[in-house]
Structure 1
């Protein structure tokens, strides 16, 4: 008698592929419009609404899962950057020019803010921004960055300006490369102590 075949692993793999397809489709859909609906996402994924709802109980659930996945990808990208060598100024510039910030996730921030609320979006960013904060703290300890401003205020300013740059790029009021350059220049101007001749590296300007 042939042994019974356990089909659960195959079903689980199918489910994972479907979830990936839905999230990929959501990312494309939000890039076209932050107002994308479940119907539009399902069509882009090549599945039916019933299939989508079999994995996600609402549009906010899709947005939540997509933002978590996107921020995990961003954090992995940050982990590959060399943030320890050179000046903190150079490290900040590399972080702000990382492709995830103003490139791949077009429209996602607007969709996430709309469906999840700004507080939830900020909370989900905490792990990614912890890497930025570590660089800021290093620069403050080394005398590169000003210490007269409270660190929480500095981080709130970075968060707000980064999202403003993303919104300008998403709305096509600024080319993405220019938005990254302006973001880096603006934030480094905020971080540096105007009264000190801080050592610095040239800010990366996209050709």
Structure 2
């Protein structure tokens, strides 16, 4: 009976954690300043239960961001990265931007609460895809070889996150962002002295 009770408690705890993480993703996705009380209410649990599983707001934000990135990785797994690396990069940016755009407020919360090193760690999956694509593009003569791949990947992610800032400032609309990002990144990645391909509008 003790074993059964333990199993039941673990299942209840798992449900509470899942509810809290889902509520955090939704609340922080609307408002990066959402309080833990608001998240607990949305999850249908008390603050005591929330603090039993998460010792700080940063831990809640980390869990919500991890969940969003796990789901994002599932989407990115479906993107065709074969063929011309420049076209593949554009397809990746289109899909990646939709994910970033849908989690803009959550990203703001993560940038406030988490260390740059942790944010890099969380983005390891998307970064690995771009690294492989850039390496192939370099090997095939489409992308420049005078800059480290890690720097080129960072440029792409920085431009994506800059787009969210521009949207928040009212200088860019979400529906134009993917094109702007692709045009900027393709210009940065293309071998100097060769024509820069124009991304599809």
TM-score range, shorter-chain basis?
0.7 to 0.9
TM-score, reference length from structure 2:
0.87
Are the aligned partners of 1:102 and 1:166 in contact in 2 as well (CA < 8 Å)?
A: yes
Please give the alpha-carbon distance, in whole angstroms, between the structure 2 residues aligned to 1:182 and 1:160. 13
Q: Confirm whether residue 119 of structure 1 aligns to residue 138 of structure 2.
A: no
Which blocks of at least 5 consecutive residues in structure 2 are unaligned? Answer: none
Equivalent residue number for residue 62 of structure 1: 60
Which blocks of at least 5 consecutive residues in structure 1 are unaligned? Answer: none
Are the aligned partners of 2:25 and 2:68 in contact in 1 as well (CA < 8 Å)?
A: no
Are the aligned partners of 1:102 and 1:180 in contact in 2 as well (CA < 8 Å)?
A: no
Distance verdict in 2 for CA 1:50–1:136, change over 3 Å: same
Are the aligned partners of 2:20 and 2:40 in contact in 1 as well (CA < 8 Å)?
A: yes
Q: Of 88, 95, 98, which aligns to 2:85?
A: 88
Please give the alpha-carbon distance, in whole angstroms, between the structure 1 residues aligned to 2:59 and 2:127. 23
TM-score, reference length from structure 1:
0.85
Distance verdict in 2 for CA 1:168–1:61, change over 3 Å: same
Provide the aligned length of Structure 1 versus Structure 2: 199
Please give the alpha-carbon distance, in whole angstroms, between the structure 2 residues aligned to 1:64 and 1:5. 31
Equivalent residue number for residue 72 of structure 1: 70
Aligned residues: CA RMSD:
2.2
Q: Which has the higher contact order (CA 8 A, sep 6+)?
A: 1
Please give the alpha-carbon distance, in whole angstroms, between the structure 1 residues aligned to 2:18 and 2:187. 40
Are the aligned partners of 1:162 and 1:183 in contact in 2 as well (CA < 8 Å)?
A: yes
Q: How does 1:1-207 map to 2 (within 5 A)?
A: 6-84=4-82, 86-98=83-95, 99-103=98-102, 105-170=103-168, 173-197=171-195, 203-205=199-201
Are the aligned partners of 1:30 and 1:106 in contact in 2 as well (CA < 8 Å)?
A: no
| Larger relative helix fraction | 2
Are the aligned partners of 1:107 and 1:170 in contact in 2 as well (CA < 8 Å)?
A: no
Please give the alpha-carbon distance, in whole angstroms, between the structure 2 residues aligned to 1:11 and 1:175. 47
Please give the alpha-carbon distance, in whole angstroms, between the structure 1 residues aligned to 2:110 and 2:41. 20
